[in-house]
Structure 1
Amino acid sequence: MGVKDCGHHEDKRKKLLKRIAFGILTFIVLVLLIILIIWAVLRPTKPKFVLQDATLYSFNLTSPTQLNSVFQVTVQTRNPNDKIGIYYDRLITYAFYQNQQITLPTSIPPTYQDANGMNVWSPYLQGPSVPIAPYLGAEINQDISMGSVQLVIKMDGRVRFKVGTYVSGSYRIHVNCHAYIPIGNTDNGIYVSRNVIKYTLSKSCDVSV
């Protein structure tokens, strides 16, 4: 009788563990389903970025294969969601000329953006004597002589979305802002100080999350 009772208790224990496991799994599935339904109803939209202006301090070749550049850009970001906030956990800004990075990365402090909120960042981008390919040096000289240089301001980082008290996991964000800077053309710029010109751009950026 003792052996039979032991087996009976063991079966009851296994059934109880299975019910507990099933209950926990059902609860997790329901929570995830609720989150998914809320997410689908709210329809989260990626943030909008606009490159407002660029203030050029320096952009010149120190040698045929070295570029020196210092400028400040103003980037406006807007959260188009009515009920979703955005955490910008990490955001790094740098400039490219024809697929080559020409400035050191500049970090933007972590920040939170409310629903329908707006932020404006003005990072300085510096590239002291950056080595470049010889053919790029020739093209930069040609662009400067033509009075316009095309750069791409890139921003890479991590974002999280907040719905009520729920905060999502971390997502990668990539921003590309194409900037046509009319170097030497004072008609399209404003002198901030001697040899420093601010150019208004108002260019929408490509954003992927």
Structure 2
Amino acid sequence: MSKDCGNHGLDNEAKLRRICGGIVFLVVILGFTVLLVWAILRPTKPRFILQDVTVFAFNVSSPNLLTTNFQITAAARNPNSKIGIYYDRLHVYATYRNQQITLRTAIPPTYQGHKEDDVWSPFVYGTSVPIAPYNAVALSDEQSRGFVMLTVRADGRVRWKVGTFITGRYHIHVRCPAYINLWNKAAGTAVGDNAVKYTLVTKCSVNV
């Protein structure tokens, strides 16, 4: 009796090993297939262009407080012919010399099909935001020269869709330089009483 029980234990252990081996084999095959399809399709990260910035407010007050209110227009293009892009989360904000000067504005989640374009025009703003003393000095210098160098940023997460397969989430970081003549309204187009729209058409760097 004890001998039979021992054989049954060995048989169960062998079956368990075969099952585990089969699962591992299927996972390896599935992973290899996904990588092969991925390599063949060669997914390309989306392309962003900062089309314009409308300035409603850009005021510096003492001591080193900055109040801003912008509306930016950014265009995103999916260059892939066989891959779709899910923008699950995307927040837009502005920085000055790597210091965030506005709150983050959320872009509604969206799906971008093959070779499709999307255009977003969110508002970004900050009220009495303290800026570093050295940035205040740089901003004063730029004011005297008439131009200010801002960066419009977008951070979030995206997923790729290949057929019915959808990948996990990837971080996306977009950086758009905005070189604006804020102190010369004639360089832009008046919008209403106080706002000025500056056309830029600037290519953005995108990292995924």
TM-score by length of 1: 0.95
In structure 2, the partner of 1:39 is 38
Structure 1: give runs of 5+ residues left out of the alignment.
none
Instruction: Say whether residues 1:157 and 2:156 are aligned partners.
Output: yes
What is the deviation of 1:11?
1.5
**What is the one-letter code of the residue matched to 2:130?**
P
My pick for the range that moved more, 10-19 or 161-170, is 10-19
Residues 135-165 of structure 1 deviation map (CA, whole Å, 9 limit, x = unaligned): 3233323322322110011111111111111
Cα distance in 2 for residues equivalent to 1:22 and 1:64: 68
My pick for the range that moved more, 5-14 or 32-41, is 5-14
Instruction: Say whether residues 1:194 and 2:193 are aligned partners.
Output: yes
**What is the one-letter code of the residue matched to 1:25?**
V
**What is the one-letter code of the residue matched to 1:11?**
L
In structure 2, the partner of 1:174 is 173
TM-score by length of 2: 0.95
Partners of 1:64 and 1:137 within 8 A in 2: no
**What is the one-letter code of the residue matched to 1:95?**
A
What is the deviation of 1:115?
1.4
SS of 1:104 mapped into structure 2: coil
**What is the one-letter code of the residue matched to 1:173?**
I
Cα distance in 1 for residues equivalent to 2:103 and 2:206: 21
Residues 21-76 of structure 1 deviation map (CA, whole Å, 9 limit, x = unaligned): 11111111111111110001001111101000000111121224111111110010
SS of 2:13 mapped into structure 1: helix
Partners of 1:104 and 1:125 within 8 A in 2: yes
**What is the one-letter code of the residue matched to 1:112?**
Y
In structure 2, the partner of 1:94 is 93
In structure 2, the partner of 1:132 is 131
Provide closer, same or farther for how the CA distance between residues 11 and 134 of structure 1 changes in structure 2, counting only shifts above 3 A.
Answer: closer
What is the deviation of 1:17?
1.3
Cα distance in 2 for residues equivalent to 1:146 and 1:55: 20
**What is the one-letter code of the residue matched to 2:188?**
G
Cα distance in 2 for residues equivalent to 1:101 and 1:5: 73
Cα distance in 2 for residues equivalent to 1:64 and 1:14: 74
- How many residues are treated as equivalent by the alignment? 208
Cα distance in 1 for residues equivalent to 2:194 and 2:4: 94
Give percent identity, aligned residues only. 51
Residues 103-159 of structure 1 deviation map (CA, whole Å, 9 limit, x = unaligned): 111111111111111111111111111111233233323322322110011111111
What's the C-alpha RMSD, in Å, of the aligned pairs?
1.3
What is the deviation of 1:3?
1.9
What is the deviation of 1:85?
0.7
Cα distance in 1 for residues equivalent to 2:185 and 2:64: 27
Structure 2: give runs of 5+ residues left out of the alignment.
none
Cα distance in 1 for residues equivalent to 2:187 and 2:47: 25
Instruction: Say whether residues 1:144 and 2:116 are aligned partners.
Output: no
